Structure 1
Amino acid sequence: MVPQCDTTRRWRPVMPRIKTVYVCQSCGYVAPKWAGRCPDCKSWNTMMEEQRESSSKSSAKQRTSASLSRDQRPVRLVDVRADGEGEVRMRTGLAELDTVLGGGLVAGSLVLVGGDPGVGKSTLLLTAAERLAQRGAPILYVSGEESVQQVHLRAQRLGLGAPHLHLLSHTDFGHVESAIRSLKPTVVVLDSVQTVYLPQLPNIPGSVTQVREVAHRAMLLAKSTNTAVFLVGHVTKSGELAGPKVLEHFVDTVIHFEGDGRTPLRILRSVKNRFGPAGELGVFEMVDSGLQEVPDASARLLSERVLDAAGTAVVASLEGTRPLLTEVQALVGRAAPGNPARTCVGVDRQRVAMIAAILGKAGLHLHDRDLFVNAAGGVRLEETAADTAILAAIASSLRDQPLDPHTLVFGELGLVGEVRGVGHAQIRLKEAARHGFRRAIVPYTVDEAPPGLELVRVRSVRDLLAAL
């Protein structure tokens, strides 16, 4: 008897294959094997084991067909019509925050706010959310680090209580997304992106995969619902935003909230902005009742200046489109054997070393002296227009001769001792004249000055030292 074959076939689901990979928690680099140092960002002990599903050909075909079935036809640029009169900007009620955002918060934008722990990120965004909610539009504040009661206590301490401000304490992004689609808020604050997770991913909250996927889902949610979303991000020991670098590419705006803890001043600085100029700066002051705006930052930074002290100079820097008068302080120690100290706070150490070498060539030798340079008020001077002010402060301390307190200095220095011009000189001079400065030592290319301001144009370091 010939055995009959069972022609009945049972359908068995194809289980996805699980593979083990190692992901760098600093940059997101994926490697099949563990390594003590990331091959991409060169960070040590950042490779963490993760379990991932290997994509099959069928699932890849399904994703491809799904993406091709969408109506994504190319259109001509001239045929695109924006809603209303163009981009919709909302005033947050905080003028300093609006300035950093480029004139207001754009509807449907994704904004990443990073800063050190305790600097005031949650306080800033909770205050902005309350100001927005005062206009009657629903605003949602999502906290993954505090309960609703804890957020309420902080709001009471700050004197906040708008009826249209809604609170949610949850870490499951699926639940958060459902709440957003149900409430339909105008603005959402997600505090923080490192604490929210997607349960379908096997990775722990805060890992590179979770942060990347949550940010991507938040971006799709913001664009599809035209809801502005604030993401609060943590920073690493080096001051960079924690998580993969692709996180900064997802968002429309990246803002750093800075403060050194020794001063109540807080600096809000835009690093990236698709809807406005990057590099804009806003100044706040931390007081007992929360964050207070400092609309005249120049006056606040110069309010504690000692007028008759040697080793200080005032520079007119430009942060984005905003002029800022900042005091540069320098202290030159006595000549001593051994390696001299070089300490710089708020200024580039390599730039200070170059300026010290230029001074040595001009006859003011610093090779055997300790040198300390500081930008007062916790401000970072990154542009080269501060070169001549740093040189003036060092020369003043070395000579022990105070500069005229009503004199302003700005300009770039070259390696051969020439003083080069900088951009937007008239904006800097107008800010100086508004604060009572009567004399400005500037590059020779500057030819006009506001009324009441005397210009001293210099070509070289020797001219600059003679004009001090």
Structure 2
Amino acid sequence: MKPVSVFVCQSCGSQSPKWLGRCPGCGEWNSLVEEAAAPSPGRRGRAASSRAVSLADVRPPEGSRLATGNAEVDRVLGGGLFPGGVVLVGGDPGVGKTTLVLQILGHLALERDVLYATGEESLEQVASRASRLGVRAPRLHLLAETSVEGVLEEADRLAPAVLGVDSIQTAATAGLASAPGSLSQVRDSAARLIEAGKQRGMPVLLVGHITKEGLIAGPKALEHMVDAVLYLEGERYRHLKVLRAQKNRFGATSELALLEMTASGLVAVENPSAALLADRPLGVAGTVIGVAVQGTRPLLVEIQALTSASAFGLSKRMSAGLDRNRVQLLSAVLERALHITLGDRDLFVNVVGGIELEEPALDLPLCLAVASAFFGKPLPQDLAAFGEVGLAGEVRGVGSVSERVREASALGFSRGILPASDLERLKEKVPGSKLHPVRSLAEAAEILFP
């Protein structure tokens, strides 16, 4: 007799007939949860066959993307919502996921029918939030429902142009006895909604919770099933939020948009670089402007560094916005290249604005900020830098040179420290810019700390 229940790992989906402290599939501890065993599918007949179609006979839908009403969100999506595309929006609790989705659906409902299914708020709560955000769209239909079958039945009745579900962790299908939010429920609920969106050519917006590790709750396969994964980042009490594309089948990945939380909702910041540099201190040691590229957009950020004597002889390395291991590695490279001692000093690094960046092009500005803090010598106010730094202290090229130089020049940074190989690839000179090519950290130090 087959077991009536199985234990399913909430991390990888492995099944076990009995409870185990550690999942045999992925090695996670205490991740197995008891769920009802799925009924046997039995013998299946041959599925209806489909015929292959020549690529020349398939016409992509030109100009059919739906604008969200927010130019920055459209940029991250690659131009708007694609017909039949499924977008998963994740983020910390209270960061603004529901606000963003409700604003998008409210704009789309000005010209078409839109269905918003919520399993976390009552209809009165949603209406109150919409009133606060200034969303007044009679064609926006609200549904308080957690059953996927109920949502799809209402979608059949209304035939909406767009469907929003908040959240996928509260959705459940009647065919499974497990609780909402379990791995099998999240996976099957998402599969039903994705299938409905593809068949109808209807964009679907799914809101997803994230775990304490910063990953979207549920099976990792959920991110592979959808067409785009957007993360809304930002500290709860900061007014600036970052919308980042982790995956996008219809646009550039790692695209970034800066949004400002206001009383009327999330508003696009048209010039993110200028916003991040608005309160920049001048004439202070340990600060420098780095030029990163996020997706297709160059972004200027202020990198700050502070060094102080270690209190107990054991130095600390703390970082906000940059990878801490990268900071430790570059501090060791800096010691060797410039013949300075940082082992007896604490090092603190910060990217102003609360955004997190991982681009190697910020290696050089980080090293310059640490050197400036160590020597106590401010860097020129009109200086910007970019470049990757290797273990031997060499400065390597990073690409997108023209875009970086033009963005820095447009914001008044006329001097630049950049890799020599990138300067050789620069196709056109930017008027008014004085660029200093370097091949190593030692050359950069000779220019800035003679």
Is the pair's TM-score, using the shorter chain for normalization, greater than 0.5? yes
401-410 vs 337-346, which deviates more? 337-346
Inter-CA distance 35–69: structure 2 relative to 1 (3 Å threshold): closer
The residue number in structure 1 matching 2:233 is 258
The residue number in structure 1 matching 2:84 is 108
Work out which of the residue numbers 383, 394, 397 in structure 2 matches 1:407. 383
Deviation, 1:335, is 4.8
The residue number in structure 1 matching 2:246 is 271
C-alpha distance in 2 between matches for 1:126 and 1:272? 22
The residue number in structure 2 matching 1:130 is 106
C-alpha distance in 2 between matches for 1:292 and 1:80? 38
The residue number in structure 2 matching 1:43 is 28
Deviation, 1:238, is 0.8
C-alpha distance in 1 between matches for 2:18 and 2:202? 41
Is structure 2 residue 60 aligned with structure 1 residue 60?
A: no
Deviation, 1:430, is 0.6
Is structure 2 residue 210 aligned with structure 1 residue 207?
A: no
Deviation, 1:336, is 4.5
User: 1:213-362 alignment to 2 at 5 Å?
Assistant: 213-361=188-336, 362=338
Inter-CA distance 52–369: structure 2 relative to 1 (3 Å threshold): same
The residue number in structure 2 matching 1:96 is 72
> 1:218 is paired with a residue of what secondary structure?
helix
22-31 vs 261-270, which deviates more? 22-31
Contact 1:113 1:257 (8 Å CA) reproduced: yes
Letter in structure 2 aligned against 1:132? L
The residue number in structure 2 matching 1:20 is 5
> 2:143 is paired with a residue of what secondary structure?
strand
What are the Cα deviations for residues 233-283 of structure 1, in whole angstroms up to 9, with x where unaligned?
Answer: 000001000000111111000111101224211000000111111110011
> 1:354 is paired with a residue of what secondary structure?
helix
Deviation, 1:140, is 1.1
C-alpha distance in 1 between matches for 2:120 and 2:109? 22
What are the Cα deviations for residues 17-73 of structure 1, in whole angstroms up to 9, with x where unaligned?
Answer: 543211112232222232112233332211111121452xxx4322xx2xx332312
What are the Cα deviations for residues 336-362 of structure 1, in whole angstroms up to 9, with x where unaligned?
Answer: 442111111110112111111111112
Work out which of the residue numbers 50, 56, 62 in structure 2 matches 1:78. 56
Contact 1:194 1:234 (8 Å CA) reproduced: yes
Contact 2:310 2:316 (8 Å CA) reproduced: no
% identity of equivalent residues: 46
> 2:127 is paired with a residue of what secondary structure?
helix
Higher-Rg member (1/2): 1
Deviation, 1:87, is 6.8
The residue number in structure 1 matching 2:436 is 456
C-alpha distance in 2 between matches for 1:266 and 1:26? 28
C-alpha distance in 2 between matches for 1:223 and 1:359? 53
Letter in structure 2 aligned against 1:463? E
- Return 5+ residue gaps in structure 1 as ranges: 1-15
> 1:21 is paired with a residue of what secondary structure?
strand
The residue number in structure 2 matching 1:186 is 161
**Pairwise CA RMSD:** 1.5
Contact 1:315 1:389 (8 Å CA) reproduced: yes
Contact 1:330 1:394 (8 Å CA) reproduced: yes
Letter in structure 2 aligned against 1:38? C
The residue number in structure 1 matching 2:16 is 31
What are the Cα deviations for residues 141-198 of structure 1, in whole angstroms up to 9, with x where unaligned?
Answer: 1111001111000111111111211111111111100111111111111000001111
Contact 1:337 1:368 (8 Å CA) reproduced: no
Is structure 2 residue 132 aligned with structure 1 residue 157?
A: yes
Letter in structure 1 aligned against 2:9? C
The residue number in structure 1 matching 2:447 is 467
